[in-house]
Amino acid sequence: MKILVVGGAGYIGSHMVKQLAKAGNDVITLDNLSYGYRDAVKYGEFVEGDLGDDAVLDSIFRSGDIDAVMHFAGFIQVGESVIKPAMYYHNNVVNTFTLLDAMLRHDIKNFIFSSTAAIFGEPDYTPIDEKHNKHPINPYGHSKLMIEQVLDDYDTAYGLRSTCLRYFNAAGADPDGELGERHVPETHLIPLILQAASGRREDIKVFGDDYATDDGTCVRDYIHINDLCDAHSLALQKMMKEDKIARYNLGNGKGFSVKQVIDVAKEVSGNDFKVSIEPRRAGDPAVLVADATLAKKELNWQPQFDDLKDIVKTAWNISLTSRLDRKSALKKFLKKQKKF
């Protein structure tokens, strides 16, 4: 198949590009490099351009028979979305409309959408299945749910088939050591902890140790990046074969507390580091765990990295061997902040 991966220079997208290419697919990556990195795209063709640029999209779609589009180019920082909602609605909603309408102009009707557990908001129960009420509590979650609703309507009206995959906590890195997580600023727990373990961060802050959990800290469901990509590949195959829409929650179905992640990071790295207990953050649920039963049943998907130690180990290994240019990443981040 020939697949366009939008946002393929980012964390999840770059791992997806590698997996698709290794499976024999013809892959084109579109990324404006506002968050992604050119050196992360190691396979297929690369086009630098914006998701919201009709001319760029038309040029790509005219260049060959593209079978499907995978969309990873959403902005993802919850806190930032509260401060800068216009930025999130413009990129995550308006620009996605531009992409979908370009697909329709060129009769491309297979779409994989990178969604999020944030569409559920504060959980009514856990583990969270696909039937759980959807009441997002921040612009990021709202923007993703809006597109899911749009995709329902585009299916009915235009026959555009889509699969939405709701991630819980993507984690880990390419076991081959080629790719890893590179966010600036970093907001994900495991890389933050590993920065403390490697001495690049003074301490790791734990926000609240008085939750109604076994050790008092928040519990989250971590899914390895390769398992996440496997689910995307399986979802695409199923959608192309059955020609219908689908929605899946993706996680290991296991919860690990912040303290458990810290303990595992200390074991994997062999290093001790300072842990600071801070007050709770507003809007942090005590437990967020996925019920991925539907994905396992319908996609025949089974996570291979279901042990937290194995997930952390892949992230630690890439942090030791990577030559990522962090000064360049910081410069890019500061430039983006001025833009908005």
Query: Which H/E stretch holds residue 224?
Result: strand 222-224
pLDDT at 59: 96
d(CA 314, CA 9): 19
- CATH of residue 104's domain is 3.40.50.720
Domain total for the chain?
A: 1
Determine contact, residues 301/251, Cβ cutoff 8 Å: no
Tokens of 174: 């390419």
pLDDT at 338: 53
pLDDT at 326: 47
pLDDT at 322: 56
Determine contact, residues 301/230, Cβ cutoff 8 Å: yes
| Helix residue ranges per DSSP H, the chain | 11-22, 54-62, 78-83, 85-89, 95-105, 139-158, 189-197, 225-242, 258-269, 293-299, 308-321, 326-339
Neighbours of 113 (CB within 10 A): 23
pLDDT at 78: 87
pLDDT at 254: 92
d(CA 186, CA 269): 19
Tokens of 47: 């086009």
Q: Does residue 123 have a cis bond before it (omega within 30 degrees)?
A: no
Determine contact, residues 180/21, Cβ cutoff 8 Å: no
Kindly report the pTM of this predicted structure: 0.91
- pLDDT per residue over 299-337, tens digit each? 999 999 989 999 999 999 988 765 444 444 444 444 544
Which entry of 89, 140, 154, 248 is annotated as an active-site residue?
140
- pLDDT per residue over 250-270, tens digit each? 999 999 999 999 999 999 999
Q: Is 88 a catalytic residue?
A: no
What parts of the chain have a pLDDT lower than 70? 321-340
pLDDT at 308: 96
Determine contact, residues 301/224, Cβ cutoff 8 Å: no
User: Domain range for residue 227?
Assistant: 2-339
Burial letters 300-328, b for 16+ CB under 10 A, else e: ebebebeebeebbbbbbbbbeebebeeee
With a CB cutoff of 8 Å and minimum separation 6, the contacts of 76 are 116, 140
d(CA 229, CA 13): 9
